[in-house]
Chain A
């Protein structure tokens, strides 16, 4: 791996919950992100997967410093930016850009595409050689849109094309790191692949590092060199693509992988793990290991001790798992059916 670009150290973000009788005071907190460590190297793509409410989007916003962490550190090229002011962040802002999920609401409908893409250059007072208009047209070309269309409005484009506009905007400042928060989940299947391919080309041609946040495990696998799996504000497993998808050690990773619906009928029946119930509330997460309430391997120890995220014996270098009992059998009998509704 090259030089470390982004480093998250024991990062915590709690959102206060207010209540109380006469005077509103903080009565609790949503533990959105609860102590995560993650690095993104230069030109590297790191996938962040998990179900809704696991804190992956909050982590992305923290990494882009759109949010200020409750505690912990965010380092960009070794420089701490956890609590930097707007002014201090300014030089870094241009290097970290975001792409959002919804191509409909993340573009101002009253601005032309040209204005939207030019926006970051104006804010950061950047004058590319040849002028901003020329740069806008270059960017449109890079993302596969007609460069003559800079005068059109977002509503004149389809969803996939709008997402390309969002990508062009993110590219306007030659970023070193793009945080892509569910960039394709709002798009149709046939369009998703177009956008994923585009992002992959950008990564390859421009050497941009990506933090790719998604709930779709297959797309993350396709796109990311390393993958981190989040559950209820914690990273439960992280490692290179091969380790996570072929030799997962955490029961949650197992369950996620076995739940992915694959359009195959020929292959032999896959391991089938059905998790019981829903994700617990992040306001009051379970003690010890957060996954224990849905885990079939859970023992007493899991309720009292938080499992550390460590390299288990048998894990490859860089493959870390937070589980007390990774070697308990993954399946019991034919199917692990833990859902009371199915029993």
Chain B
């Protein structure tokens, strides 16, 4: 187990290195020159050269990448702009702050959003899927199946404003979405994020309902479930003690893959509700051609996905004793 984790984390680091190198190359190979943008409209060639030198942009690309990489561990200093302490993922010239700090500031928002949405997705998706499978062929199953088809087609930027209009403005059932740190007021943290959670999770929840239902129906036809029934286990015991574990394996696997999509959805959700999370940071960085920031967000996002996938694999081994992590 330990050796497995060590190997997976080592592998993850290699992957992140490769991702960062590729992203670095792609971003810095674009014609848009941050030094020129910074230099202003009337730009003397000397000033430009100086800025470039201060930004370290006068060196070959791989040296720049090496500096960037080294900066994560040693920190960097940008003359004329400011200090970027370790771990330094670069310095945003557009917002005049270290990238890492900006990301850390916004991290709780995105984390709250995605974690909360994950809970909604798994809890509601699996629950309704289970109910549908339990009542397969009956009205409840048909309702659950039909609503999951509808739900799967509800896009965030459509449902978001719609729900906000009715629930927040018209009916005033819940407060306008914003981020209140959980440490400050857990109740407000919850109520203010409720709408974004629901909106972000609708599409996914619908998918998980359908998946859970079909997986459960498939598992219920398995030989070992028949054996459990032949042993005199009640339908309930068969359902909840035997079949669900088989059904969860593919669900967990797919969820690992969906995490990346969920992060993408979080970006849209943050935009929709003006939440100041990493997604919003990324969108603004794109608009401003803030390359260091963009690079930082990409790497942090990639790291999150890679680490969560390791977690999913470990979870997998807990569900299925046949999977051995070696």
Contacts and interface: CB of A to CB of B under 8 A. Distances in A.
B326 A19 contact: yes
Nearest to B6: A22
Interface in A11-45: 19, 21-22
B185 interface: no
A75 B57 CA distance: 66
B10 A22 contact: yes
Interface string B1-28: 0010011001000000000000000000
Contacts of B7: 21-22
A22 B3 CA distance: 7
Interface residues of A, number: 3
Contacts of B6: 21-22
Nearest to B10: A22
Interface in B283-326: 326
B233 to A, nearest CB: 28
B33 to A, nearest CB: 43
Interface in A176-205: none
B118 to A, nearest CB: 31
Interface string A299-320: 0000000000000000000000
Nearest to A22: B7
A233 B108 CA distance: 60
Q: Is the interface of B mostly helix, strand, loop or mixed?
A: helix
A21 to B, nearest CB: 4
Contacts, number: 8
Contacts of A22: 3, 6-7, 10
Interface in B193-233: none
A22 B6 CA distance: 7
Interface string B110-128: 0000000000000000000
Interface string A158-170: 0000000000000
B56 to A, nearest CB: 35
A105 B228 CA distance: 29
A22 to B, nearest CB: 5
A28 to B, nearest CB: 13
A22 B7 CA distance: 5
B279 to A, nearest CB: 36
Contacts of A19: 326
B287 to A, nearest CB: 43
B12 to A, nearest CB: 14
B262 to A, nearest CB: 31
B290 to A, nearest CB: 38
Nearest to B7: A22
A19 B4 CA distance: 11
Contacts of B10: 22
A22 B10 CA distance: 9
A153 B253 CA distance: 36
B324 to A, nearest CB: 10
A19 B7 CA distance: 12
A133 B10 CA distance: 59
A19 B326 CA distance: 7
A21 B7 CA distance: 7
B121 to A, nearest CB: 34
Nearest to B326: A19
A212 to B, nearest CB: 31
Nearest to A18: B326
Contacts of A21: 3, 6-7
A21 B8 CA distance: 11
A273 to B, nearest CB: 32
A147 B173 CA distance: 74
Contacts of B3: 21-22
Nearest to B4: A21
Nearest to A19: B326
A22 B14 CA distance: 13
A19 B6 CA distance: 15
Nearest to B2: A21
A296 B7 CA distance: 47
Contacts of B326: 19
Nearest to B3: A21
A65 to B, nearest CB: 33
A21 B326 CA distance: 7
A102 B62 CA distance: 57
A19 B10 CA distance: 17
A22 B4 CA distance: 8
6 contacts: A19-B326, A21-B3, A21-B7, A22-B3, A22-B7, A22-B10
Interface of A: 19, 21-22
Interface of B: 3, 6-7, 10, 326
Given A21-B6, A22-B10, 6 more contacts: A19-B326, A21-B3, A21-B7, A22-B3, A22-B6, A22-B7
Which 8 pairs between the two chains have the least Cβ-Cβ distance?
A: A21-B3, A22-B7, A19-B326, A22-B6, A21-B7, A22-B10, A22-B3, A21-B6
